[in-house]
Amino acid sequence: MKNVIIGTAGHIDHGKTTLIKALTGRETDTLKEEKKRGISINLGFTYFDLPSGKRAGIIDVPGHEKFIKNMLAGVSGVDAVLLVIAADEGIMPQTREHLEILQLLDVKKGIIVLTKADMVDDEWLSLVKEDIVEELKGTFLEKAPIHSVSSVTCQGIKELIHEIDNITEEIEAKDTGGHFRLPVDRAFSVSGFGTVVTGTIISGQVKLGDNVEVYPKKIITKVRGIQVHGKSADIGFAGQRCALNLSNVKVNDIGRGDVVAAEELMEPSMMIDCKLYYLKGMKKPLVNRQRVRLYHGTNEILCRVVLLDKEEIEPGESGYVQFRLESPLTAQRNDRYVIRSYSPMITIGGGSIIEPVAKKAKRFDEEYIEEIKLKESGTTAGILDNVIKKLSHEFPDKMLIIKSLGKNEENIEEKLEKLVEENKIICLSSMNKSIYIHKEFLEDKLEEIKKLLANYHKEFPLRVGMSKEEIKNRIFGKSIKQKVYDEILEIFQYKKEINVYDKFIALYDFNIKLDEIQSKMKENIINIYDKAKFSPPKFSDLLNCESDKNNFKMVYEMLIESEVLIKTSEDCVFLKKHYNNAIDIVVDYIKQNGSLTTSVAREILNTNRKFAVSLLENFDNLKITKRVGNERVLF
């Protein structure tokens, strides 16, 4: 079952906590000071059950600028966000900063929630929505739905819950098969149990009795209790809010910013190599050795940023950097991070970690920078088979596979060849390169194609098959090279799963079956076009003479798709034998006379200008003839 975490974001006093209470029936402000001041200071956590039956965790983050570091700790593990904007105020400074943070953390899904809708009239609400749409252009929320609600009257709450349910279907499932990792956002002691930590599991799973390690202190401990959404459990999965009761670790030895993970999974480091995007709205460039605050997971660390490939990073630019940390960080490749200026504390940039355990680098070292670039698109997967499985949708060659491994794997060709021999991966060719895709990926795509074709044949029983190009775009996307696509289709045809025609694909056992009425229509249409020769009738005229228009249209389209009839342009359709005869007549005339005009074509084909032009332009497109001025010559 897919596990999802929903986070809130937005300006202070825009109603995030009240909204969560309206959604879940639970209060997330637990501190006395929070309740007294009416603002969220720390993170709040709860859950609610969606109409589909899924249970979603929800994280309430503070909106005040003084508590941005708490907000960052909360949103680091969310799958989707509710960007909360008060209808009576609209977008405010913290709304913008929260949005920038969400983008830097690569959150992909979200909903705009206009709270306090009962406090404004419809005209004002409409103006606020227009401002929001304009403000969010170019962001990941550009096309996000906007819901107007009132947490007091519950106006729109039911509709919002259904929208949240819908968006959870679009969220990519977390990696439950990878190594277990949980960034800690709270640590406390429970009488009779000992130390308890909470957080969002960002990968893998954890079971009762598992040995785990607390990073960066590298304390080995055991999981002796698990709670998911406040209930005891035997196992916790990626995407769940989880509380772990840990044995043999003191509460003073663990806290927010630490990571509980599988043993010997990671190595704490004082230096990390990263790709950094510097926010466009900054007034000054980012300079070398500038002191900044780095936020990763639930951690905040002071550090200096060393620019590796540029003298300065201008606003809106990206660059490769090395962070020299003032305390150790435990991370993995491809983790996201955010940086804020040391003083005043404002969000200035962020990106992804390329090398979580870096060696001290010299600036402008070309060899080192090339090594970083090679690792940039890497993955933590250590088995080549799994890497190819994940990359198959990109149709990787050897170099892309090496990059995804994050290092130059020794004897990579031999290992790839062995996987091919074991029938685990398939080797294809494109542009003089070998392309590797996983057998399971190919099998999945075949099933998708067969299902698509089965539905198509059912809907259009008289069509030869589905467009080859449409299947390519719908199943593989536009990134696949045509040669690779054709080779995949050859494999499927060899297995007797499909039949591939010139422009169409059909299931292997599919045949067009005409009933008696349709067979007569087919014969009649062929006779009409046979007699018409090079002056064929209009389809619309033929259709108007038929009482069974649906059947006639299907038979007619079938004859065109199967190339019994050749369509050269709109309303210009010829019987194939006459079309081929026209080619012979035109080619023979040009061979004897050197060239041919449209008027001559009319005469030798005994037709009018419209049909002559349509045929000649079609021959031009097929590179049989070529137009030179007002004449045609052989191509």
| Alpha-carbon span 321 to 308, nearest angstrom | 5
Question: For position 66, which CATH number holds?
Answer: 3.40.50.300
Contact criterion met (CB below 8 Å) for 23 and 158: no
Q: What pLDDT score does 18 carry? A: 86
> Do residues 395 and 441 lie in contact, with contact meaning Cβ atoms separated by under 8 Å?
no
The conformation of residue 39, written as its DSSP 8-state character, comes to: S
| Whether the predicted pLDDT of 41 surpasses 60 | no
Pairing label, strands 259-262, 631-634: unpaired
pLDDT of the residue at 71: 60
- Please, which pLDDT band fits residue 506 given cuts at 50, 70 and 90? very high
* Chain mean pLDDT for the chain: 86
Q: Given the structure tokens 């060709």, which residue do they identify?
A: 413
Q: Are residues 8 and 128 in the same domain?
A: yes
> Is residue 562 over pLDDT 90?
no
pLDDT confidence tier of residue 36, bands split at 50, 70 and 90: very low
Three-class DSSP category at 127: helix
Distance CA 255, CA 183 (A): 10
CATH code of 356's domain? 2.40.30.10
Give the domain CATH number at 502: 1.10.10.10
Q: What is the pLDDT of residue 246?
A: 95
What pLDDT score does 531 carry?
94
- Tell me, yes or no, whether 88 and 204 share the same domain: no
Nearest Cα to Cα of residue 187 among 153, 219, 157: 219
Task: Say if 175 falls within a structural domain.
Answer: no
Comparing 278 with 192, the larger pLDDT belongs to 278
Assign 32 a pLDDT band (cuts: 50, 70, 90): very low
* 453 shares its domain with 507: yes
Same domain for 439 and 453, yes or no, is yes
Residue 349 has pLDDT above 70, yes or no: yes
pLDDT attached to residue 502: 81
The values of phi and psi at residue 3, to 5°, are -110, 135
3-state SS assignment for residue 151: coil
For residue 258, CA distances in Å to 7, 69, 252, 301, 335 come to 21, 15, 12, 11, 15
pLDDT at 378 over 60: no
Does residue 176 fall inside a structural domain? Answer: no
pLDDT at 74: 56
Identify which of 241, 226, 156, 158 has the alpha carbon closest to the alpha carbon of residue 193: 226
Higher pLDDT, 12 or 96: 96
* Helix pair 609-621, 598-605: axis angle to 10 deg: 110
> Most confidently modeled of 46-50, 83-87, 514-518?
83-87
> In terms of domains, do 84 and 202 share one?
no
Same domain, 111 and 72: yes
Cα distance between residue 291 and residue 236, in whole Å: 38
305 in the same domain as 408: no
Give the pLDDT mean for 204-208: 91
Q: DSSP per residue over 523-575, as a string?
A: HHHHHHHHHHTTSPPPHHHHHHT-S-HHHHHHHHHHHHHTTSEEEEETTEEEE
Last residue of a domain, one of 170, 196, 222: 170
Q: ∠ at Cα 536 (596, 469), nearest 5°?
A: 85
- Cα gap 39→94, rounded to integer Å: 14
Query: Does residue 34 register a pLDDT over 60?
Result: no
424-469 confidence digits (pLDDT tens)? 899 998 767 889 999 999 999 999 999 999 999 998 888 888 999 9
The CA distance from 271 to 503, in Å, is 56
On whether residue 115 sits in a domain, the answer given is yes
Residues spanned by the domain of 57: 4-170
First-last CA distance in the chain: 62
Give the model's pLDDT for residue 163.
92
Mean pLDDT of 379-402: 72
Position 28 pLDDT exceeds 60: no
| Residue 29 within a domain | yes
Asked if the model's pLDDT at residue 30 lies above 90, the reply is no
The confidence score (pLDDT) of residue 422 equals 85
One domain, residues 420 and 434: yes
- pLDDT category at 586 given cuts 50, 70, 90 is very high
Q: Give the pLDDT score at 379.
A: 39
Q: What's the pLDDT tens digit per position in 235-264? A: 998 888 889 999 989 999 999 899 999 887
Cα–Cα nearest to 144, from 202, 209, 80 = 80
Instruction: Tell me the pLDDT band of 383, cut-offs 50, 70 and 90.
Output: low
Q: What gap in Å lies between CA 617 and CA 622, rounded to an integer?
A: 9
The answer to whether residue 426 is domain-embedded is yes
Does 390 share its domain with 525? no
Residue spans of alpha helices (H) in 311-392: 366-376, 384-391
> In this structure, are 409 and 484 located in the same domain?
yes
Residues 386 and 372 occupy one common structural domain:
no
pLDDT tens digits, residue range 125-175? 999 999 999 999 999 999 999 999 988 888 899 999 999 999 888 887 776
Q: Which residue did the predictor score with more confidence, 232 or 267?
A: 232
Convert the pLDDT of each residue in 410-422 to its tens digit. Answer: 567 778 888 888 8
Six-digit token pair at 295? 């936020």
| Confidence band, pLDDT 50/70/90 cuts, at residue 377 | low
Q: Domains in the chain: how many in total?
A: 5
Residue 232 located in a structural domain: yes
Q: Which residue has the higher pLDDT, 386 or 338?
A: 338
**Lowest-confidence range among 58-67, 285-294, 417-426, 532-541?**
58-67
Could you tell me the two tokens for 369?
A: 């920078």
Q: How far is CA 383 from CA 390, 399, 412, 427, 562, in A?
A: 11, 16, 12, 18, 47
In sign, the C-alpha dihedral spanning 594, 599, 603, 604 is positive
Pick the last residue of a domain from 124, 148, 170: 170
* pLDDT higher than threshold 90 for residue 202: no
Q: What percent of the chain has pLDDT over 70?
A: 90
b/e 305-315 (16+ beta carbons within 10 angstroms → b) = bbbbbbeebee
- Final residue before a domain boundary, out of 357, 376, 395: 376
Residue 356 lies in a domain: yes
Residues 165 and 273 in one domain: no
294 found inside a domain: yes
What's the confidence (pLDDT) of residue 421? 86
